[in-house]
Copies of this chain bind each other. A is one copy, B any other.
């Protein structure tokens, strides 16, 4: 089922928060508004990580290591799945040397405290 525009708009708001706060400002605290408390991430090169606090620790390290200039998330395909949404997306990570790293991902979105958040997040690189 396609995602109603009101939900798609709420999802864009969460993604925009990730782009500006995490990608741009390296503000890890913003992840409280992006991941559910019980979220799971499956990063390349590391085992699955469960729970928002552990996820924040992961991103603290990852953002420090990668030091991105910008992140831009874009939805490629999204469909409603019960109370949630399953989304395929693309991230473009702008590096400070001007290069761009392209990442593709699948996110299972859920509503927590009235906000659309990432409950499962897995990604990999095209190259």
Chain A positions near chain B (C-beta within 8 angstroms): 1, 40, 42-48, 76-77, 80-84, 86, 88, 104-106, 108, 120, 122-127
Contacts and interface: CB of A to CB of B under 8 A. Distances in A.
Contact of A84 (B44, B76, B81, B104): B81
Interface of A is mostly: strand
27 contacts: A1-B82, A40-B77, A40-B88, A42-B105, A43-B124, A45-B124, A45-B125, A47-B126, A48-B104, A81-B82, A81-B83, A81-B84, A81-B86, A81-B108, A86-B86, A86-B108, A88-B120, A105-B122, A106-B106, A106-B108, A106-B120, A106-B122, A108-B108, A122-B122, A122-B123, A122-B124, A124-B124
